[in-house]
């Protein structure tokens, strides 16, 4: 009574409205992840894998179906009080990530990719015991689901704090997963440690940038920051510092130079199925978030960030292409190739600075991401099949003459390499064509020239592997070619088919990307 008199009637806190229907794909993935954790807690060890695997795959497929359904509904809304943008690009990216996640999970499901008992010291008696008992960490399934959920939220977040949370939800499980390789465990643990430290470092940049932007605009809402750009004056230092640091955090995640150093080490050390997931899913998610921040929140600031991203794009392409040339490990080479591709993608981001409403560039980027995603998952899947006594035969010299011993596998790998190089009638050609055409349309002709020159350099190291596989004599005690499990075989087949189909009949997916990009980002 007294309190009421003193404080007045309590102002009711409005309960937030949340459009559960529109967020359903994400909620399903997160829900399945939580169920997975419960399964770990309450079911006997021998049952877990046979429960986890269906939960994971079914939830991902279900989420994909929900995404498709939303796509048909034409949902375009800033859901959950404006915090999560469910629009064309989000839905397209969700669909792509979910498909690639399903494919990656089939790889992850393969036995003997993951450590038997992570807590056992490498090389110890405990480890031997765990291996002999057939130990396996089924926690990887819920971890992957959490990571995928984070990947979905990251590009869809419509305010910077949600985006930060999504970034962490996506990254933390990946840090863990990177350290779980069954072989070369020290390398794997080192990779995880590096990824974690550097990731945390870059997250700090991201968060500090968010704080400074909040200081500038008084809001963390992307649309709000866009509005503030026109009205707030005299706070340019805050704005530039904030935007720059935010950019550092995002560029780190896509692996643009000079923030690319983690990529080769982590891609090499991580279990290959996880590398496949990161190289496809994380890249797509991070590009989505980058586009949303630069095109929505900072869209009117393009005169400032265009030159900066120009330099980053050029540096990224050059560093990726040049360093890939002297790599001797197949996974490191693919990591540098991924850096080069990041640079190619950035050309389209930069070119649309002038005219942020350019749906064509967005569609090109989306198509490129899907094409690259499938080729890269397929390539890493092939990598898992070429084995030595100590695990995967990573060193390129071990791949010599593979074409004579296993022509089909080498042929498929050559297909992926040609797609990376952007040869016509593979998916890579249209991806590259789309982003470079967008860049030219946006007036970044010089950037495209650099892109084409670095593409030529990149073609060298892709074709070198093909030459190595088909025109060199096999090593006397060459690697064994593992008989692929059903899952791996399916992954290779699906990826190869996608690479060819997107190269020969790109139109349906191009149309889809155009439709998705048509309405651009919801504010």
Partner 1 sequence: MEPAEIVQHSGGVIGVSWLTIVLPLLGAAILLLGGRRSDRWGHFLGVAMSLASFVVAALVFFELLGLGADQRRRLVQLYEFLPAGTVDVKLGLLLDPLSISFALLITGVGSLIHIYSIGYMAHDPDRRRFFAYLNLFVAAMLLLVLSDNYLGLYIGWEGVGLASYLLIGFWQHKPSAAAAAKKAFVVNRVGDMGLALGIFVIFTTFGTLSFGPIFSHASQASQGTLTLIGLALLVGACGKSAQLPLQSWLLDAMEGPTPVSALIHAATMVTAGVYLVVRSGAIFEGAPTAQLVVTIVGVATLLAGAIIGTAKDDIKKALAGSTMSQIGYMMLAAGLGPVGYAFAIAHLIAHGFFKASMFLGAGSVMHAMNDEVDMRKYGGLASVMKITWITFGLGYLAIIGFPLLSGYWTKDGIIETAMEHNAILGWLAVAGAGITGFYMSRVFFMTFHGERRWDKDAHPHESPAVMTWPLIILSIGSVFGGAFLIAGNRFMEFLAPAVGRPEEMPSFQPFSLTGLVTLALVAVGVVYAWLKYGRSAVPAVAPRGSFLTVFARRDLYGDALNEALFMRPGQWLTRLAVFFDNRGVDGLVNGLAALIGGTSGRLRRVQTGFVRSYALSIFFGAALLVGAWFVVGNL
Rule CB under 8 A: which residues touch partner 1?
193-194, 197-198, 201-202, 205, 236-237, 239-241, 243-245, 247-248, 251-252, 257-259, 261-262, 264-265, 303-305, 307-308, 311-312, 319, 322-326, 430, 437, 457, 506-507, 510
Cβ proximity to partner 1: between 65 and 467 the closer is: 467
Cβ 100 to partner 1 shortest distance, Å: 24
Cβ proximity to partner 1: between 252 and 368 the closer is: 252
Cβ 194 to partner 1 shortest distance, Å: 5
Cβ proximity to partner 1: between 123 and 424 the closer is: 424
Nearest residue to 378 (alpha-carbon basis) of 54, 100, 58: 100
Cβ 69 to partner 1 shortest distance, Å: 28
Give the residues across from 391 on adjacent strands: 388
Cβ 437 to partner 1 shortest distance, Å: 8
Cβ 113 to partner 1 shortest distance, Å: 24
Cβ proximity to partner 1: between 48 and 184 the closer is: 184
Show Cβ contacts of residue 193 under 8 Å, excluding neighbours closer than 6 positions.
179
Cβ proximity to partner 1: between 86 and 421 the closer is: 421
Cβ proximity to partner 1: between 464 and 523 the closer is: 464
Cβ proximity to partner 1: between 327 and 384 the closer is: 327
Cβ atoms of 428 and 375 closer than 8 Å: yes
Question: CA dihedral in degrees (287, 413, 177, 329; nearest 10)?
Answer: -100
Cβ 187 to partner 1 shortest distance, Å: 10
Cβ proximity to partner 1: between 43 and 304 the closer is: 304
Tokens read off for 441: 């349309």
Cβ 512 to partner 1 shortest distance, Å: 14
Cβ 251 to partner 1 shortest distance, Å: 8
Cβ proximity to partner 1: between 31 and 244 the closer is: 244
C-alpha dist (Å) from residue 31 to 24, 142, 256:
10, 10, 33
Give dist(CA 84, CA 278) in Å, integer. Answer: 23
Cβ 205 to partner 1 shortest distance, Å: 6
Cβ atoms of 352 and 415 closer than 8 Å: no
492's enclosing H/E stretch is: helix 486-504
Cβ proximity to partner 1: between 218 and 307 the closer is: 307
In eight-state DSSP terms, residue 111 is T
In eight-state DSSP terms, residue 352 is T
Phi, psi of 329 (to 5 degrees): -105, 135
Long-range contacts of 358-362 (CB under 8 A, 24+ apart): 358/438, 358/441, 358/442, 359/514, 359/517, 359/518, 359/520, 360/437, 360/438, 360/441, 360/514, 360/517, 361/435, 361/438, 361/439, 361/441, 361/442, 362/89, 362/291, 362/513, 362/517, 362/520
User: In terms of DSSP bridges, do strands 386-388 and 391-392 run parallel, antiparallel, or are they unpaired?
Assistant: antiparallel
SS3 state at 77: strand
Cβ 248 to partner 1 shortest distance, Å: 4
DSSP 378-400: HHHHHHHHEEETTEE--BGGGGT
Give the residues across from 181 on adjacent strands: 114
Give the residues across from 84 on adjacent strands: 79, 157
């Amino acid at each position: 009574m007294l309190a009421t008199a003193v404080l007045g009637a309590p102002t009711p806190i409005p309960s937030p409205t949340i459009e559960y229907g529109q967020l359903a794909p994400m909620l399903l993935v997160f829900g399945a992840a939580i169920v997975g954790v419960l399964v770990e807690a309450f079911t006997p060890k021998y049952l877990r894998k046979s429960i986890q695997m269906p939960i994971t795959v079914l939830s991902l497929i279900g989420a994909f179906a929900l995404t498709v359904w939303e796509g048909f509904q034409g949902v375009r809304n800033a859901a959950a009080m404006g915090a999560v943008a469910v629009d064309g690009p989000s839905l397209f990216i969700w669909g792509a990530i979910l498909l690639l996640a399903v494919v990656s999970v089939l790889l992850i499901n393969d036995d003997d990719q993951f450590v038997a008992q992570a807590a056992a010291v490498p090389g110890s008696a405990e480890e031997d015991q765990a291996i002999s008992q057939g130990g396996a960490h089924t926690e990887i399934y819920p971890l992957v689901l959490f990571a995928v959920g984070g990947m979905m939220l990251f590009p869809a977040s419509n305010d910077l704090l949600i985006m930060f949370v999504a970034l962490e939800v996506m990254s933390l499980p990946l840090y863990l997963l990177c350290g779980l390789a069954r072989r070369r465990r020290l390398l794997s643990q080192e990779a995880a440690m590096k990824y974690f430290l550097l990731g945390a470092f870059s997250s700090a940049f991201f968060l500090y940038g968010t704080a400074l932007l909040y200081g500038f605009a008084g809001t963390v809402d992307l649309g709000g920051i866009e509005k503030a750009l026109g009205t707030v004056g005299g706070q340019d230092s805050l704005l530039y510092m904030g935007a720059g640091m935010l950019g550092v955090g995002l560029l780190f995640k896509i692996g643009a130079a000079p923030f690319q150093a983690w990529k080769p080490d982590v891609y090499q050390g991580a279990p290959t199925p996880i590398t496949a997931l990161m190289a496809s899913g994380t890249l797509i998610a991070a590009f989505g978030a980058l586009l949303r921040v630069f095109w929505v929140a900072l869209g009117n600031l393009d005169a400032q960030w265009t030159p900066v991203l120009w330099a980053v794009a050029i540096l990224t392409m050059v560093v990726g292409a040049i360093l890939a040339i002297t790599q001797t490990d197949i996974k490191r080479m693919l990591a540098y190739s991924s850096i080069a591709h990041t640079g190619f993608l950035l050309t389209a981001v930069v070119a649309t600075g002038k005219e942020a409403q350019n749906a064509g560039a967005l569609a090109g980027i989306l198509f490129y991401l899907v094409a690259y995603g499938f080729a890269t998952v397929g390539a890493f899947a092939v990598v898992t099949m070429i084995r030595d006594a100590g695990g995967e035969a990573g060193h390129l010299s071990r791949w010599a003459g593979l074409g004579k011993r296993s022509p089909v596998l080498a042929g498929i790998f050559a297909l992926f390499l040609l797609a990376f190089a952007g040869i016509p009638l593979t998916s890579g050609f249209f991806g590259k064509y789309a982003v470079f055409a967008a860049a030219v349309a946006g007036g970044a002709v010089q950037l495209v020239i650099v892109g084409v020159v670095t593409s030529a350099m990149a073609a060298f190291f892709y074709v070198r592997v093909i030459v190595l596989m088909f025109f060199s004599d096999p090593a006397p005690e060459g690697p064994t070619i593992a008989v692929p499990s059903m899952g791996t075989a399916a992954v290779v087949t699906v990826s190869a088919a996608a690479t060819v189909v997107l190269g020969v009949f790109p139109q349906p997916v191009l149309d889809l990307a155009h439709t998705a990009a048509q309405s651009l980002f919801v504010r």
